[in-house]
């Protein structure tokens, strides 16, 4: 397999479901720690209205502080935008990778953005093209790509239609997001095969939720199909507040542990990720979905293969 880029989404997707707002300094410490551990991209937050997602109210301030340093050289800071106002804020903040997307589910789209799929798609494509014209890196996604908690199955052609729209507009960094956690490995492999058939030059990412325990299996299937970017969340935090049953993301440290057991990404400091996961669990006062922060990695003292 090609070397895998790890996109940490915990500070955004991981925290947006939490009722207890994490203080600015604690969040800043986690983000710096994740970047320092060797992850390639860290998603700092989303540029949304603070009344809708209070956890994201400090996103602009976080970017300002992080850009002032210190931060590991080479790490990219990403941010999510949903509309033109968010794009203006993200541009002013100096976001390194702009993430935006459209749901393949009409119900999820309306709950998440207040727009029908067609309207959301037109606006996102226009925003992506404007951002790229200004020299900013952009990743677009198809949300609810493998099913919807409200509608159930989502047709593969609807997903491919959105990817086709991106490709036709020159947008080639595309992520498929399993917002509801409905994906199974066979469907994942088939979907990515069909996506790459649309345009072999696509730079594809995957974003899986572990709602039904298939997160890592789905990631593995995506990697086997050629995906080179994987979005994960420290401690397995996360879940979309606008889906019916919210499940956490694939856990970053569990994924890194799997990669390293497979001979990849020895450069990532797993012990640093485990320390952050333990701190996240301590802060929220509960066990997190992640496994390896509780068991310890194979090969550590007292843990044998």
Q: What CA–CA distances, in Å, run from 77 to 30, 80, 215, 265, 274?
A: 13, 11, 24, 20, 21
Residue 249 lies in a domain: yes
pLDDT exceeds 80 at position 196:
yes
Candidates 99, 148, 204, 240; catalytic one: 240
Please, are residues 252 and 39 in contact by the beta-carbon 8 Å criterion?
Answer: yes
Averaged confidence pLDDT in the chain: 93
CATH number, domain at 186? Answer: 3.20.20.70
CA distance 236 to 6: 14
Q: How open is the CA angle 223-200-218, to the nearest 5 degrees?
A: 20
Residue 117 lies in a domain: yes
Residue 300 lies in a domain: no
CA distance 113 to 110: 5
pLDDT level of residue 39 (50, 70, 90 thresholds):
very high
Q: Convert 229-263 to b/e letters by CB count within 10 Å (16 or more is b).
A: bbbbbbbbbbbbebbeebbbbbbbbbbbbbbbeee
Residue 116 lies in a domain: yes
Residue 118 lies in a domain: yes
pLDDT level of residue 292 (50, 70, 90 thresholds):
very high
pLDDT given at position 51: 87
Average pLDDT over residues 184-212: 96
pLDDT given at position 241: 54
pLDDT exceeds 80 at position 305:
no
99 is catalytic: no
pLDDT given at position 243: 52
Q: How open is the CA angle 171-196-9, to the nearest 5 degrees?
A: 60
Average pLDDT over residues 271-298: 96
| Residue range 73-106, pLDDT digits in tens | 999 999 999 999 999 999 999 999 999 999 999 9
Q: What is the pTM of this model?
A: 0.95
Average pLDDT over residues 12-29: 94
Total domain count for the chain?
A: 1
Residue 302 lies in a domain: no
3-state secondary structure the chain: CCCCEEEECHHHHHCCCCCCCCCHHHHHHHHHHHHHCCCCEEEEEEECCCCCCHHHCCHHHHHHHHHCCCCCCCCEEEEEECCHHHHHHHHHHCCCEEEEEEECCHHHHHHHHCCCHHHHHHHHHHHHHHHHHCCCEEEEEEECCCCECCCECCCHHHHHHHHHHHHHCCCCEEEEEECCCCCCHHHHHHHHHHHHHHCCCCEEEEEEECCCCCHHHHHHHHHHCCCCEEEEEHHHCCCCCCCCCCCCECEHHHHHHHHHHCCCCCCCCHHHHHHHHHHHHHHHCCCCCCCHHHHCCCCCCCCCC
pLDDT level of residue 302 (50, 70, 90 thresholds):
low
pLDDT exceeds 70 at position 176:
yes
pLDDT exceeds 90 at position 248:
no
pLDDT level of residue 28 (50, 70, 90 thresholds):
very high
Residue 183 lies in a domain: yes
pLDDT level of residue 246 (50, 70, 90 thresholds):
low
Name the residue range of residue 214's domain: 5-295
pLDDT given at position 239: 63
| Residue range 133-143, pLDDT digits in tens | 999 999 999 99
pLDDT exceeds 80 at position 266:
yes
Average pLDDT over residues 278-305: 88
Which one is predicted more confidently, 248 or 59? 59
pLDDT exceeds 90 at position 209:
yes
**Burial class, 6, CB count within 10 angstroms (exposed 0-12 / middle 13-18 / buried 19+):** buried
Residue 301 lies in a domain: no
pLDDT exceeds 70 at position 276:
yes
pLDDT exceeds 90 at position 303:
no
pLDDT given at position 301: 56
pLDDT level of residue 2 (50, 70, 90 thresholds):
low
């Amino acid at each position: 397999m090609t070397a895998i880029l790890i996109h940490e989404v915990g500070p955004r997707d991981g925290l947006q479901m939490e009722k207890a707002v994490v203080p600015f300094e604690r969040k800043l410490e986690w983000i710096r720690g994740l970047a320092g551990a060797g992850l390639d991209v860290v998603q700092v937050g989303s540029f949304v209205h603070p009344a809708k997602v209070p956890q994201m109210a400090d996103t602009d301030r976080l970017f300002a502080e992080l850009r002032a340093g210190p931060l590991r050289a080479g790490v990219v800071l990403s941010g999510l935008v949903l509309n033109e106002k968010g794009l203006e804020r993200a541009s002013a903040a100096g976001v390194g990778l702009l993430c935006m997307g459209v749901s393949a589910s009409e119900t999820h789209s309306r709950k998440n953005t207040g727009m029908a799929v067609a309207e959301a798609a037109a606006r996102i494509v226009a925003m992506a093209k404007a951002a790229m014209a200004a020299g900013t890196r952009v990743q677009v996604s198809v949300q609810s790509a493998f099913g919807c908690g409200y509608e159930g199955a989502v047709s593969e052609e609807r997903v491919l239609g959105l990817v086709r729209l991106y490709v036709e507009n020159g947008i080639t960094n595309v992520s498929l997001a399993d917002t509801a956690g409905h994906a199974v490995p066979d469907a994942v492999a088939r979907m990515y095969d069909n996506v790459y058939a649309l345009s072999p030059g696509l730079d594809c990412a995957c974003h899986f939720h572990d709602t039904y325990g298939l997160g890592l299996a789905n990631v593995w299937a995506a990697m086997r199909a050629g995906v080179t970017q994987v979005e994960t969340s420290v401690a397995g935090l996360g879940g979309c507040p606008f889906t019916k049953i919210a499940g956490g993301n694939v856990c970053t440290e569990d994924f890194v542990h799997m990669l390293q057991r497979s001979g990849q990404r020895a450069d990532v400091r797993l012990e640093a990720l485990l320390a952050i996961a333990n701190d996240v669990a301590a802060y929220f006062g509960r066990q997190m979905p992640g496994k390896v922060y509780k068991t310890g990695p194979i090969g550590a003292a007292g843990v044998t293969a």
